[in-house]
A and B are shown apart, each in its own frame.
Chain A
Amino acid sequence: MQVSWIDPDEIARLTAQLEGPLQRDEPLPWDLDTLPDISSQFTMDESDSADPPELADAIAAPVPESMEQQGATPAPAIEHIREKLRAIRNSAQDAGLMPIAKTATIERSDSTAIPVSDSPAAGIMPSRTPVRIPPAPQPVTESAAKIPDSHHPSSTPLLPPGSSLTERLQCFIPWVQSVVPCEDILLVDDHGDLLWGGPSRADLALSVVLAAGAGLQSGSDALTRSSVFIRSRLGEQKELSVLPCPTRYGMVTLALLNATGLSNENVTSLREALKLCIDDSAVAPAIKGQA
């Protein structure tokens, strides 16, 4: 007589389930191994498009409706992951396991620091192929710039709410021209890709990247402060004014060719407007503007 009262068939079925493969291959939430890599975050919460168009093909393409509807607000889950990554990064930096990002030492006129290390590591448009840019005509010379308080910006640009980055840049660039008259305007992202500026200006992009990179790596966070910029001489006739700006997509650099009338106030305004333009855009498609 059986004393356990157990049905052997039931036990056989249950043991088969216990020893069989997992029916759902879902890991536990917030497992560190499952955190998305940092580059995938941007495709996750900003755009579901497969790949960003390459620079040569980039045009101000209409934004797919699904992207528009998504908006720019990251999902709580993504925010949670970011918080965790931020905490991990801070702990690693505190423990000396990770270097703290350094920025340029440069003459400055205000004291509001924006640490570069707080900006996301990836750029707006991780391109599949590196942009080939011919070398700059002359070696870049950087100099710190102390600027007069002469020219005052009119106002902030009128940026359509909920619009795409393309649309916002199309409003932003003319506004920059109105605030600081200049020969040309370029916008370069973290990867050195041109967000604004024709292909003929690709050589300038290299100068912009070199100037911003050299400044950012030279040991101070001053460069990203609101009223500080780099001035790079490109020969006798040309001068680039370079304003790196930390955005939530990484460092975006605004470069003005032969700008006149830069002042503390309008540099601050340019940076704030650029940050607003980038950070609040609904999506971040590749664009090629006509400067």
Chain B
Amino acid sequence: MIAVATASQKGGVGKTTVCINLAHALARRGWNTLVVDTDPQGGIGLSLSRSTRKRRGFYDFLQNGGEARPLILPTRLPELSIMPCGDSASFLSQGAKLDRSPERLRDLLRQLDLLRFDCVLLDTAAGLNGVSEIIVRGSEWVLIPQQAEPLAVRSLPLLLETLARFRADGTRTRVAGILLTMLSSQLDASLKVAREVRAMLPPSLLFQQAIPRDPLFLEASALGLPLSLIRKNPPPSALLFDQIAAELEERIGLPAHKDQTHRHASLLD
């Protein structure tokens, strides 16, 4: 199992949208995928169902430990499951004792591994402190959605600096890549940001694909669906996530990891 956390200094850059659509794309590609909503706002649950708000979830596990399986909600796609945010208010209002949280997170990931998930996407709150820091430090990879707008991209050095500091003090988390989001081909400033970022960052740190600003995302969230499910014939933006999923697989070594743990027999055997 591979754990991938999202991270960004700024809010509203599309982390939750990326998580939902990327997880759906990974699941459709056959990976047993779980999305864990670690954002206290509960964006994953709110995006997909009106009934998840009162469900137990990630923060209940962080607070009490125990068994992870009952916190996992299946979806209509068998390869895709959700762990909602749970009672974050209770956890955070009690002074948020974070000292046990790294251990609990490791316990959670171990349990998810035993439940045979191939990939776990952890959607985090904005900023790299508190619970989000613990989640990023506890994950093998971090995916950085980066809004293709001038103000948003100016926080990129701070984010990279924070991740470099984590690495300097022994955290093994690696950067899966920076994914440009909300790229607007109509806006010169947005295109300039994309060009500048591509010029500055090595290809190993930047996804080839970028996610355009598309009104269909708004429609998808209104329906509580991933983008590819809002129409019988998925819109082009939805297909981008298939490419991003394929790129992510290669970046984090998902096929190789799966081969190590699960070998298939030959078709003719």
Contact = CB atoms under 8 A, between A and B. Distances in A.
Nearest to B172: A22
A27 B196 CA distance: 36
Given A3-B189, A3-B193, A18-B160, A11 B201 contact: yes
Interface centre among A2, A3, A7, A22 (most CB of B within 10 A): A3
Contacts of A18: 160, 163-164, 167, 174-175, 205
Contact of A30 (B103, B163, B174, B202): B103
A184 to B, nearest CB: 52
Contact of B167 (A17, A30, A31): A17
Interface in B196-247: 196-197, 199-202, 204-205
A4 B197 contact: yes
A23 interface: yes
A50 interface: no
Q: Is the interface of B mostly helix, strand, loop or mixed?
A: helix
Which residue, B102, B161, B167, B199, has most C-beta atoms of chain A within 10 A? B167
Given A17-B167, A23-B167, A5 B103 contact: no
B154 A14 contact: no
Interface residues of A, number: 26
Given A6-B200, A11-B200, A15-B201, 14 more contacts: A3-B150, A4-B196, A4-B197, A6-B196, A14-B160, A14-B161, A15-B160, A17-B168, A18-B167, A22-B170, A22-B172, A25-B170, A28-B102, A28-B137
Contacts of A3: 150, 189, 192-193, 196
B106 A24 contact: no
Contacts of A19: 175, 202, 204-205
B157 A14 contact: yes
Nearest to B103: A30
20 contacts: A3-B150, A4-B154, A6-B157, A7-B157, A8-B200, A11-B200, A14-B160, A14-B161, A15-B160, A15-B202, A17-B164, A17-B167, A18-B160, A22-B172, A26-B170, A28-B106, A28-B137, A28-B172, A30-B103, A32-B110
* Chain A contact residues, majority secondary structure: loop
Interface residues of B, number: 33
A11 B196 CA distance: 11
Contact of B164 (A8, A14, A25): A14
Interface string B68-104: 0000000000000000000000000000000000110
Interface string B128-139: 000000000110
Contacts of A8: 199-200
